[in-house]
Amino acid sequence: MNAVNAPNSFRTGPDESGHFGIFGGRFVAETLMPLILDLEAAYKAAKADPAYREEMDAGLKHYVGRPSPLYFAERLTEHFGGAKIYLKREELNHTGSHKVNNVLGQILLARRMGKQRIIAETGAGQHGVATATLCARYGLKCVVYMGAVDVARQAPNVFRMKMLGAEVVPVQAGAKTLKDAMNEALRDWVTNVHDTFYCIGTVAGPHPYPAMVRDFQSIIGTETRAQMQEAEGRLPDSLIACIGGGSNAMGLFHPFLDDPSVAIYGVEAAGHGIPTGQHAASITGGRPGVLHGNRTYLLMDDDGQIIEAHSISAGLDYPGIGPEHSWLHDVGRVQYLSATDEEALEAFQLLSKLEGIIPALEPAHALARVAELAPKLPKDHLMVVSLSGRGDKDIPQVAEILGSRL
């Protein structure tokens, strides 16, 4: 990082108009603009209200089951023979991933705003399940948009959402994955502006979503800080997390951005490999553009048409990334790496066998890069991996791929 150009703090963004450097912003249709301004005002008021904080804290403790453990992965550490690896166990949260942290915050906000109908987009289904869960808990109507391809490859989560009382709408447009689900959710929102709250699942979309979702997910990093202090008496030396939109990563990273001793790695999905063009690595293989309400790194062609992403992981299968990540990349605070489908599958199996933890395919991408980084680091290097979700949902898909190999 160039010290001359480095800001005094990496934690002050976004500015009042929702920008992180050139990234972020509010690129939405006029119909939605008043809603987004209302949401911003409501969130600002909620943040200042101790009653909202208390409600959040109680929900995180008693319903979500926080704090999630920071677990020393002893056998994984021995296996790699280098850095001491800790797993931040977000997969142990209620609903099986970090997604619930954000959804709790947004649903409590929707209740404060008097909204009765909640819509969400989902890729792997983890955000959809978390949203359906909290809508059931608070008696709200829930509609989840999911690409038809994802509906097919994430069947267990589709069933869970339906069990929880949500309506799951398979989206047939485009490549029928997460991007198309988000388009359809935005079309629903623009149509049902009066009673509907759009619960976005990641640190993307128009301001204030990227900042708001980051705030809700920052509990991951805040807990990690305290837990590492308790376990080792100091800060970790490195953090690593997978990135689709990037909410688990931003949640882990944000509380550490101003600690220069902490190296930070985000891992994008390289699909069949970056050179093949069939990947979901927006930063590694894309460039800045405007989609879904924000400016950020996107996969696109020379005419500015968005290219379909590819990843084995439905949760990473998105041609964009949260705008704050784009900024952290440009200023050099976070290093963005990538892992292929094949590497993620290997890591998926390795963690299952060595630690008795079946990870989701999403964090398996982060684990794949740990396999490369950890062996080269000294044994007193403390590395934290965000284990953002559990792999139950991926079992049918992985079984189909590995069926003949096991």
342 among known catalytic residues: no
Q: Which of 17, 275, 378, 404 binds another protein (CB under 8 A)?
A: 17
- According to the binding rule CB under 8 A, does residue 204 interact with another protein? no
Please count the residues of this chain forming the interface with another protein, following the rule CB under 8 A: 35
Q: For residue 317, what are the CA distances in angstroms to 63, 242, 360, 375, 390?
A: 29, 12, 14, 29, 17
Contact 64, 76 (CB under 8 A): no
- According to the binding rule CB under 8 A, does residue 289 interact with another protein? yes
How far apart, in whole angstroms, are the C-alpha atoms of residue 98 and residue 95? 9
- According to the binding rule CB under 8 A, does residue 298 interact with another protein? yes
The residues facing 390 across adjacent strands are 359
- According to the binding rule CB under 8 A, does residue 276 interact with another protein? no
Q: Which of 41, 290, 395, 402 binds another protein (CB under 8 A)?
A: 290
The answer for residues whose C-beta is within 8 angstroms of residue 145's C-beta and 6 or more apart is: 119, 120, 121, 122, 169, 171, 181, 182, 184, 185, 188
- According to the binding rule CB under 8 A, does residue 26 interact with another protein? yes
Residue 213 or 300: the one with the smaller Cβ distance to another protein is 300
Contact 365, 242 (CB under 8 A): yes
- According to the binding rule CB under 8 A, does residue 310 interact with another protein? no
Q: Which stretch binds another protein (CB under 8 A): 131-139, 189-197, 265-273, 348-356?
A: 189-197
Contact 282, 210 (CB under 8 A): no
Q: Which of 121, 223, 343, 362 is an active site residue?
A: 121
Helix (H) and strand (E) counts in the chain: 16, 14
- According to the binding rule CB under 8 A, does residue 277 interact with another protein? no
388 among known catalytic residues: yes
- In the complex, the smallest distance separating the C-beta of residue 385 from another protein, rounded to whole angstroms, is 33
Q: Which stretch binds another protein (CB under 8 A): 30-38, 49-57, 339-347, 351-359?
A: 30-38
353 among known catalytic residues: no
Helix (H) or strand (E) holding 24: strand 23-27
The residues facing 240 across adjacent strands are 265, 385
How far apart, in whole angstroms, are the C-alpha atoms of residue 359 and residue 336? 21
How far apart, in whole angstroms, are the C-alpha atoms of residue 224 and residue 227? 5
- In the complex, the smallest distance separating the C-beta of residue 28 from another protein, rounded to whole angstroms, is 6
Q: Which of 68, 84, 97, 99 is an active site residue?
A: 99
How far apart, in whole angstroms, are the C-alpha atoms of residue 34 and residue 250? 27
- According to the binding rule CB under 8 A, does residue 115 interact with another protein? no
Q: Which of 70, 158, 186, 211 binds another protein (CB under 8 A)?
A: 186
Q: In the range 155-184, which residues lie near another protein by CB under 8 A? A: 173-174, 179, 183
Residues that bind another protein (CB under 8 A): 17, 25-35, 173-174, 179, 183, 186-187, 190-194, 289-293, 298, 300, 302-306
Q: Annotated active-site positions, please?
A: 99, 121, 388
